[in-house]
């Protein structure tokens, strides 16, 4: 199976002078999908193989849960720390 390439990366807060944080989301032509998040202290990587239907759904679930968690956390900080 041929997989379309996906390759997006960006800084999370490019104007910051106190930290560096970025992400790299990619799908290679072999079907390996990775989301890597880096900052000055370390990195994490979510990885799956899109040649396996179970792993396709697993990656979708990981990304949706992570997205929801990040938005919920941002909302909490905004509600409790911004006057």
pLDDT tens per residue across span 6-35:
999 999 999 999 999 999 999 999 999 999
Q: Is residue 13 part of a domain?
A: yes
Distance CA 38, CA 3 (A): 25
Q: Is residue 52 part of a domain?
A: yes
Closest CA to 47 of 35, 29, 31: 35
Tell me how many domains the chain contains. 1
Assigned token pair, 40: 């000055």
Please tell me whether the overall predicted TM-score, pTM, comes out greater than 0.75 for this model. yes
Q: Is residue 1 part of a domain?
A: no
Q: Is residue 56 part of a domain?
A: yes
In angstroms, the first-to-last Cα distance of the chain is 53
Q: Which domain holds residue 58?
A: 6-81
Task: Tell me the mean pLDDT in the region 39-44.
Answer: 95
């Amino acid at each position: 199976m041929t997989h379309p390439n996906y390759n997006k990366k960006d800084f999370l807060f490019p104007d910051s002078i106190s930290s560096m944080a970025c992400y790299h989301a990619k799908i290679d032509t072999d079907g390996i999908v990775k989301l890597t998040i880096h900052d000055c202290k370390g990195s994490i990587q979510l990885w799956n193989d899109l040649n396996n239907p179970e792993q396709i759904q697993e990656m979708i679930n990981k990304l949706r849960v992570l997205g929801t968690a990040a938005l919920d956390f941002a909302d909490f900080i905004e509600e409790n720390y911004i006057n």
